[in-house]
Chain A
Amino acid sequence: AQTVTQSQPEMSVQEAETVTLSCTYDTSESNYYLFWYKQPPSRQMILVIRQEAYKQQNATENRFSVNFQKAAKSFSLKISDSQLGDTAMYFCAFMKHWVNAGNMLTFGGGTRLMVKP
């Protein structure tokens, strides 16, 4: 079974600054996806960024980037130039990646991020 751990229940950052959210996971799988999802007060989960485990290059998506350390089973999210709209719960999630695995996500407990003006 997979586990995902987010050790920071809450974080805050000043607008325009940079913040890093931590995530570690445990799995015996070699091929998998990792995701960061954002859940604003509207409740809808929105994909922020994804990483395929076989790719060594860290994923980037505009102001969002990850530091993927496969051997250490670490997957942190860096948000640059933080904006007020980034205020939300952030969830790290794991998905196996093989045929017929289905699309089951294992989520961490979340980090509540507050961006202050």
Chain B
Amino acid sequence: ETGVTQSPTHLIKTRGQQVTLRCSSQSGHNTVSWYQQALGQGPQFIFQYYREEENGRGNFPPRFSGLQFPNYSSELNVNALELDDSALYLCASSPGLAGGTGELFFGEGSRLTVL
């Protein structure tokens, strides 16, 4: 069974640029959520996708957007990058909404640095 994989692992961008981060969910999982973890802080929920539809969004501006594909993999897009967007971006998958144990399975994250 393949776990959650994210790419790229590290990337550096300059202010104003756009970035796309990718996530492959664990086999059998149809729900993907994204979290932003600033250095030294706990992760914050960005949004969640369930069966290709956004299903819940945290307090993030519209320049944070996403997609989920028919194979349940997902992308996080951030436009007009700001210095404060520098963070570890975590993807997590689960087998459905509020079902089972509630456990999320996390990837190792993508470390974004904005200069």
Contacts and interface: CB of A to CB of B under 8 A. Distances in A.
B61 to A, nearest CB: 18
A103 B42 contact: no
B3 to A, nearest CB: 9
A28 interface: no
A78 interface: no
Nearest to A98: B98
A99 B102 CA distance: 11
A19 B97 CA distance: 34
Interface residues of A, number: 28
Given A43-B88, A45-B106, A105 B94 contact: no
Interface residues of B, number: 29
B94 A108 contact: no
Given A104-B56, A104-B58, A96 B42 contact: no
A100 interface: yes
B42 A91 contact: yes
Given A43-B108, A44-B109, A97-B98, A104 B103 contact: no
Interface of A: 4, 33, 35, 42-47, 50, 91, 93, 95-110
19 contacts: A35-B102, A43-B88, A44-B106, A44-B107, A44-B108, A45-B43, A45-B92, A46-B106, A50-B103, A93-B42, A100-B97, A100-B98, A102-B33, A103-B97, A103-B98, A104-B33, A105-B33, A106-B45, A109-B42
